[in-house]
Amino acid sequence: MSDVRTTVPADERVEGVGFAPEEVRIEEPTRSARLKWVVLVDAGLPAGLAVNAAVCVAGATTAGVTGLLGPDAVDAAGSAHPGLPWAGCSVLAAAPEQLVTVRAKAAAAEGVFVADMPEAAQSTRVYREYLDQVGETDDLRYLAVSVVGPRNRVDKLVGRLPLLG
């Protein structure tokens, strides 16, 4: 059995992708953030599967990129609500071939973090089976791709893809 990690060690994160504590500016509009976060989802997926794919890549992204989540919010009754993405996150619709293209270009771009969800993640119920299926597949079909990087680079990668509707 191979070694399976549940988080990305700091020394293996994409260098330069993430926010230092002093860069977290919760008083400014999301567009002022140095980095942009987008999640692309296969536009042909039924709603439940699309949401599942988006949430799964978002979880992988927040584990792999520092500083994406803002501080916890506390309501008037004193109940805490865990921090949300302070710099925003757009969820976009894409065709399957666009997911492959954007993922490949993002993975090759300097200073860009990529997380993806291959189809095997929704067709298996045992994580080991998922790992095995991915390991045996040369041509993965992606259901969602998450990209974080410099705003201009991410904009160029995703073009004018529409919001997931």
Query: Taking the domains of the chain in order of start, what are their residue ranges?
Result: 32-68+80-158
- Strands, E, within 23-120: which ranges? 35-42, 73-74, 80-81, 90-94, 113-118
Whether the pLDDT of residue 9 is over 80: the answer is: no
Please give the class, per CATH, of domain 32-68+80-158.
Answer: alpha beta
CA distance linking residue 102 with residue 138, whole number of Å: 17
pTM of the model: 0.90
Q: Could you report the per-residue pLDDT of 74-124, keeping only the tens digit for each? A: 999 999 999 999 999 999 999 999 999 999 999 999 999 999 999 999 999
